[in-house]
Amino acid sequence: MQTTLPSDSPPARKTYRQGDLRRALLDAGMALAREGGPAAITLREATRRAGVAPNAAYRHFASQQALLQSVRAAALQGVAESMENALADLPTNLSAADHARASVRAVGTGYLRFAQAEPGLFRTAFAVSDKLIQATPEVPTAGPGGRNPYELLCDAVDLLVASGVMPAARRPGAEILAWSAVHGLAMLVVDGPLAAPVGPHFALFGQRVLDMVEKGL
Amino acid sequence: MQTTLPSDSPPARKTYRQGDLRRALLDAGMALAREGGPAAITLREATRRAGVAPNAAYRHFASQQALLQSVRAAALQGVAESMENALADLPTNLSAADHARASVRAVGTGYLRFAQAEPGLFRTAFAVSDKLIQATPEVPTAGPGGRNPYELLCDAVDLLVASGVMPAARRPGAEILAWSAVHGLAMLVVDGPLAAPVGPHFALFGQRVLDMVEKGL
DNA sequence: TGTACATCAGTGAACGCGCGTTCACTGATGTAC
DNA sequence: TGTACATCAGTGAACGCGCGTTCACTGATGTAC
């Protein structure tokens, strides 16, 4: 009784010691991104949701940009995790060539699943850089396995070469082609002009895009 | 001397009769989109650039959304025009099959050229619909030839079927696959994470994406 | 075990900004006689 | 050809909003004695 309760989060909190507020603001920022995309990520609304004065955020984030970058990094971690989950579902009895092809498909499928499940976070992950922080080297964007989305894609495409499915001469930049196809579908359907007509058949078109990539690479 | 001068636009204007201000506001809106994308399109800044009071805009646009939609429509006209230009450059002595393939490539090339030449307008053309006006049926989005970008793409893909390059069974939705690949590359390079590494080789990757589409469709 | 103290996370108030939008108006324009 | 008039495009002032950010502060916390 003399110590603060670890559960009962919303009502039992009296003050945010040891980084709890940073976590709360990040969670609020992610909720905002989910609801309204990157433009909805606002220091004032995040502090409002955390039940805290607006300027309290400056103890944990240098600016609104810093919060946005943190939310973006978390969104990219989500993309990586979704890819890893799809990779983990792969059957283990495949030939090297089939495993390579299935890996590329799994990476794409994980990407598209995340875009569909979390459109607001997806948009945030790949939002325009606003002429600002291009590299953002500090924030980690890797999933549980320690690889970020781009690395996971490159790994899968590398398998195509290692297993003899793709000639090594065609390897350089091949991941860009695969990424473009999958990313374009996601953008057009998630918040673009194809939301209404294609949205209901998103998974189907996802597989067709992956067919095209597999044949076209 | 007793009539107003038709040239000397900026200083000689005294008042905007007969729709000149609408044109000036639209031009200002397009300039803003060019410089900062859809978020930069602001009634106040557009009126400022037109040298007019902020509320004067309401004689020509019902709201800021209406201006944004008009700029978006103009941007889509630009996309259509760029596609038409690429189509017009096609050699005329091709076989039906080659002409069909070349038409699909031309449509994609025109799309990518516009994205590269006018990134801000491109982003505006395909910006998120903001949960609002999905259809926007009033504003014309067609190019000089009377077809909008989507129709131009469908026409080209139809040629693939008509010339026997593509089986009719694969036609439904095929334009979505082609659009996705080209759109994804444009988004990733124009204002996404690939701007720095791929930007200098945009045209090269554009052709590689089109190779993939051609083989993969 | 108890007390004094330094730390620093969160407070309260305020700033300046640019935005969209509304109101009653005015004065140049084109038209009717 | 000249004059009176109605129209309506653009004006001037103002509103409320939410935002990011800064300032001096306060009071609960953990620590040192």
Per-residue pLDDT tens, chain A, 217 aa: give them: 333 333 333 333 346 665 699 999 999 999 999 999 999 999 999 999 999 999 999 999 999 999 999 999 999 999 999 999 999 999 999 999 999 999 999 999 999 999 999 999 999 999 876 544 444 556 778 888 889 999 999 999 999 999 999 999 999 999 999 999 999 999 999 888 888 888 899 999 999 999 999 999 8
CB spacing of A188 vs B188 below 8 angstroms: no
pLDDT at B158: 97
pLDDT at B15: 60
Nearest CA in chain B to A190: B128
Write down which residues 54-113 in B have CB closer than 7 A to strand C.
54-55, 57-58, 63-65
Question: Confidence class of residue B137 from pLDDT cuts 50, 70 and 90?
Answer: low
Residues of chain A with Cβ-Cβ distance to B211 below 8 Å are 216
How far apart CA B46 and CA B33 sit, in angstroms, is 11
CB spacing of A192 vs B216 below 8 angstroms: no
Lowest mean pLDDT among A180-194, B118-132, B194-208: B118-132
What are the distances in angstroms from CA A119 to CA A111, A122, A187, B180?
A: 11, 5, 9, 17
Q: How far is the CA of A34 from the C1' of D24 (A)?
A: 37
pLDDT at A143: 82
B17 touches strand C (CB under 7 A): yes
Nearest CA in chain A to B185: A180
**CB distance A149 to A122 below 8 Å:** no
Comparing B137 with B66, the larger pLDDT belongs to B66
pLDDT at A145: 82
Q: Any residues with CB less than 8 A from the CB of B102 and at least 6 apart, and which? A: B90, B91, B94
Question: Confidence class of residue B83 from pLDDT cuts 50, 70 and 90?
Answer: very high
In one-letter notation, the amino acid at residue A197 is P
A80 touches strand C (CB under 7 A): no
A54 touches strand C (CB under 7 A): yes
Residue count of chain A, please give it. Answer: 217
Q: How far is the CA of B50 from the C1' of D11 (A)?
A: 14
What proportion of chain B, given as a percentage, has pLDDT over 90? 76
| Nucleotide nearest B22 (Cα, C1') | D9
Q: How far is the CA of B20 from the C1' of D5 (A)?
A: 25
CB nearest B212 (choices: A123, A198, A217) = A217
Q: Any residues with CB less than 8 A from the CB of B7 and at least 6 apart, and which? A: none
Question: Can you tell me which residue has the tokens 């995309």?
Answer: A37
pLDDT at B138: 63
pLDDT higher than 70, residue B9: no
Residues of chain A with Cβ-Cβ distance to B182 below 8 Å are 180, 184
What proportion of chain B, given as a percentage, has pLDDT over 70? 87
Residues of chain B with Cβ-Cβ distance to A108 below 8 Å are none
CB spacing of B192 vs A128 below 8 angstroms: yes
**CB distance A188 to B127 below 8 Å:** no
